[in-house]
Chains A and B, each alone.
Chain A
């Protein structure tokens, strides 16, 4: 259960997912770091959008791999931050040729539909309502990163919105992403995660937390 992130990666690569977490709250950084570590991710936690860009090398100083050469597989950023907001950071990332493919997840304590829509429009993978739970992170690991690493942005974004509304489970899209996987050399091994996905579909079919948040949103009018 804890090795979620490691399990869904093609077995050819023994790398853990590297997540860049951005939040101005010290407490929230500590919590998100732990949530991610428990889900078998490498974490770099920074306190601002500016620092995040610096780490990625988007401030023009370093190369595109960040300080220690670790590729970033996912960016999770708080929305409300002083200076650069998470939304502004998202835009900068999606407008950079080097990093636009990295899935970006926005976290916010405020459940504002227009905010969520603008983030998704700008290419955010997901919008998580804070406080973030372990189940949110686990779902991200299976849902967002695997698809983010294998499909193009636009198609995936529309698929995501569609299946949220339909409230379907995730297994069908996981299947489709594995068949379109271009990069991992060990394509037969991508079937391995699906054996473990019996557990996934059980998880998903029992009231996915994100859909319930989404439902709460819609009822918020």
Chain B
């Protein structure tokens, strides 16, 4: 356990993100790539993810406004979105993406719509949690990724 209160807080936040299923092993992979030469690498990647995926979210939203649904297109967008989400370890978001694609494959428009609403919620929740996490991380200064969530 960290002695420094900020680092302890960070550790607790981090553990919670994993325990509650928001993040998976891939996030840890990103942390392993962070070093002194690039101490904010994880935050940079996550920021990039949110910036880049906003475009995809918008595309999907617009596609869901056009009936009949073009499931092929929806699936293609979601494939890309899922890929990026997977790359940052966004576990719940990725799960919703997978479900969405299932609905696309079975041509279930209702399912797609419902699932997308849930996905956006998870996406927004994760963003808030990660923003809070990185804010504390910046205050706490460089920290070794101590306990892995096993």
In which size bucket is the chain B interface? Answer: 20 to 34
**Interface flag for A25 (CB, 8 Å):** yes
- Smallest CB separation, A85 vs chain B (Å): 13
Majority secondary structure of chain B interface residues (helix, strand, loop or mixed): helix
Q: How far is A134 from B26 in the complex, measured between Cα atoms in Å?
A: 10
**Interface flag for A31 (CB, 8 Å):** yes
**Interface flag for B112 (CB, 8 Å):** no
Count of A-B contacts with CB under 8 A? Answer: 50
Q: Which of B53-108 contact A (CB under 8 A)?
A: 53, 79-80, 82-84, 86-89
Would A27 and B84 count as touching, CB distance under 8 A? yes
Would B83 and A109 count as touching, CB distance under 8 A? yes
Would B30 and A31 count as touching, CB distance under 8 A? yes
- Smallest CB separation, A82 vs chain B (Å): 9
Q: List 12 A-B contacts (CB under 8 A).
A: A28-B83, A31-B33, A31-B87, A34-B38, A34-B41, A38-B35, A130-B83, A130-B86, A131-B29, A133-B26, A134-B29, A134-B33
- The 3 A-B pairs of least Cβ separation, nearest first, read A27-B84, A34-B33, A26-B52
Q: Which residues of B contact A (CB under 8 A)?
A: 26, 29-30, 32-33, 35, 38, 41, 44-45, 48-49, 52-53, 79-80, 82-84, 86-89
Q: Which residues of A contact B (CB under 8 A)?
A: 24-28, 30-31, 34-35, 38, 80, 109, 130-131, 133-134
